[in-house]
Amino acid sequence: MTQMPSTTINRRRFVCLGTQAALGVGAAGMFSRAALTAEQPSAPATKPDFPIVDTHQHLWDMSKVRQSWLTPGGPLTRNFVMKDYLEAAAGLNIVRAVYMEVDVDADSQLAEAEYVLDICRRGGSPTVAAVIGGCPGEDSFKAYIARFKGSPFIKGVRQIPRAVGGQSPYRQKRFIESIRLLGEWAMRFDLCPPPAGLPDAIQLVDHCPGTQFILDHCGNADPKWYRSPDKDESTDAVAARRRAAEQWRRDIAALAKRNNVVCKISGIVSQATKDSWMPNDLAPIINHCLEVFGPDRVMFAGDWPVCTGVATFRQWVHALKQVVQNRSIEQRRKLFCDNAVRVYGLAAR
């Protein structure tokens, strides 16, 4: 998930808050393939039309789980279920999806896991795996996650870092022990720190060399860092944006030196300026991540429905395709499909 205006969602709260296409389910439970359709005239006709694995799919049914972060009356305060996802993804050639936890209240975490496990077991949808919520560092964590050890569907855990006593959990001994346990049990951990928390993420990765990490949302970079100065914007404000961008670039490059980290190209569109953003606004962030992580350690992620605060699922996919259209066919296929299959250990179809 990605940071949205405070009237709808706060990323630090939500984001502890993704061969044949999912246009519809046929009698055999397979997906029909359709040509890519542009939502806007400016959307590029990128070919070939690669199959896409969405490594960051959010779903929730408010009758099954509690999510205290939801704002009463907000645009996300309703059910977002598979039918809605399939409608949003229609025509995009989404062949598989990895469910991503949605920061349910702690007493709903097991219900959330059972909810998505049922979806995966039933089949008939693109969702074939899940990253579930949990509370690393808590006494109950080992017994909780042991339920899913060896599951072909549960691929890992995510918890958004919340400081405890002024210290990031990424630096706390018991938290580190829990993340090491995930590695021992062949599970992954999704990192989702704010940009200022990237040094803490580096520390955690260094303490857990046997664990596979996935960095969500390009480290939560803000595309507004790169906008042209507003006519009324102070010199100090412009300088602060530039410093933030440069610090993020250094920290992302440092994290990328750790070979057990993969980066999701996602989330940043939710921080763009609604109704006036363009794909090129996202390009500096996307291209930096692609360069420092390299073609084998980047994955597409949708972040639906959180992205809808600024862009539709289709707009985000087309924007990313436009930014990477001059990269090689092999690199684009790895980004949109192949790396996700390998990193998440998705079964062949």
Q: Name the least confident of 155-169, 257-271, 273-287.
A: 155-169
- Give pLDDT tens digits for 17-74: 333 333 233 322 322 222 223 344 344 444 557 899 999 999 999 999 999 998 999 9
Q: What are 187's two structure tokens?
A: 């599970």
Q: What angle do CA 116, 194, 127 make, to 5 degrees?
A: 20
Q: Which helix (H) or strand (E) holds 129?
A: strand 127-133
Rounded Cα distance between 267 and 347, Å, is 26
Give me the domains of the chain, ranges plus CATH numbers.
11-23+39-343 (3.20.20.140)
Contacts of 293 (CB under 8 A, 6+ apart): 256, 261, 262, 263
- Give pLDDT tens digits for 199-233: 999 999 999 999 999 999 999 999 999 998 988 99
Q: What is the value of pTM for the model shown?
A: 0.86
Q: Which helix (H) or strand (E) holds 333?
A: helix 329-333
What pLDDT score does 231 carry? 87
Instruction: Indicate the angle between helix axes 173-184 and 198-207, nearest 10 degrees.
Output: 60
